Amino acid sequence: MIGKIVKGIGGFYYVKTAEKEIIECKARGIFRKENLKPYIGDDVEISVQNGKGNIEKILDRKNLLIRPPVSNIDILVIVVAAKDPKPDLFLTDKLILNAEIAGIKPIICINKSDLDKADDIVEIYDKAGYEVVLLSAKNEKGSENKIMPLIKGKTTAFAGLSGVGKSTLLGVITGVEKETGEISEKIKRGKHTTRHVELIEMDDGGYVLDTPGFSSFEVTQIKAENLQDYFPEMKNHIGECRFKGCSHINEPDCVIKDLVNDGKISKSRYESYKTIYEKLKSVKEWEN
């Protein structure tokens, strides 16, 4: 029978079938031999005996993210706290980039918007052409009404640093209470309390996905010269610079650098571009 992996814990995969039954499964050893691994979100073919299942085949994927470790995602909601913990815009830009590379629509959700600096973050991503949602999941009733129309019927992953309010927001959206960590007043850092990745089915047939908080990962799956294709605010100006193949870093008469200086492209986004570009230049071909 065919089903979707909705949860994975300790080597066990929980597959929801068309009949809404959830079956605990193990992956066949052949996947290890073929260097394949089932991911949450995978559509799979399973066999069942005595109530226990085995994953026999992983069906074709629409896309795959390594962090968060999920497949077949339509939308990635990147949750950013306006202040506590301090916004990590470089991590946010790497998450957006991963979504762009995978063909997933990114949406920026600025949580705790009652705090300072929310407007600055809105401006950064609004300039880049991304959809931005501003809310306070903890204090604002109706927060789900700002998110739900954007993700209706889709499979949506939520990602961001620990402590930004992902679990609180998901609890509001799904009505499922999840364990959340209180922000330490001493170190202003969220406790990592989300234990595993899990798909939660919604009434509209879509799924939402909670993902554990994380702080670092690298982008290596593209070449440096192609990076500009995944920054929409730069892609619109490809070919306008004086030099063909302009990297937008050291060359003179660069349209992108002029746009940054004029405030039409966010400086933080440009700094993220430069950092990732230099990192990609140092990646050897065989590492991709």
Do 254 and 122 lie in one domain? The reply is no
Within-domain flag for 279: yes
Q: Which domain holds residue 16?
A: 2-58
| 118: nearest Cα among 99, 140, 134 | 134
Residues 103-153 have pLDDT tens digits of 999 999 988 765 667 888 999 999 999 999 988 766 666 667 788 899 999
Q: Is 80 exceeded by the pLDDT of residue 41?
A: yes
Q: Please state, rounded to an integer, the average pLDDT across all residues of the chain.
A: 85
Within-domain flag for 217: no
- Which CATH number does the domain housing residue 143 bear? 3.40.50.300
Within-domain flag for 215: no
| 29: nearest Cα among 41, 39, 38 | 38
SS (H, E, C) 256-280: HHHHHHCCCCCHHHHHHHHHHHHHH
Tokens of 51: 């109530």
Residues 206-234 have pLDDT tens digits of 999 866 655 556 787 899 999 999 999 99
Q: What would the mean pLDDT of 35-51 be, rounded to a whole number? A: 93
Q: What would the mean pLDDT of 33-48 be, rounded to a whole number? A: 94
Please give the share of the chain, as a percent, with pLDDT higher than 70.
84
Within-domain flag for 94: yes
Q: Report the number of distinct structural domains present in the chain.
A: 3
Do 40 and 120 lie in one domain? The reply is no
Within-domain flag for 186: yes
Within-domain flag for 282: yes
Do 34 and 142 lie in one domain? The reply is no
Do 16 and 150 lie in one domain? The reply is no
Q: Give pLDDT, residue 24.
A: 96
Which value, to the nearest 10 degrees, does the dihedral of the CA atoms of residues 164, 176, 63, 44 take? 150
Domain end (from 150, 185, 210): 210
Please give the share of the chain, as a percent, with pLDDT higher than 90.
55
Contact 106, 130 (CB under 8 A): yes
221 vs 82: CA distance, rounded Å? 30
Do 70 and 205 lie in one domain? The reply is yes
Do 234 and 264 lie in one domain? The reply is yes
241 vs 238: CA distance, rounded Å? 7
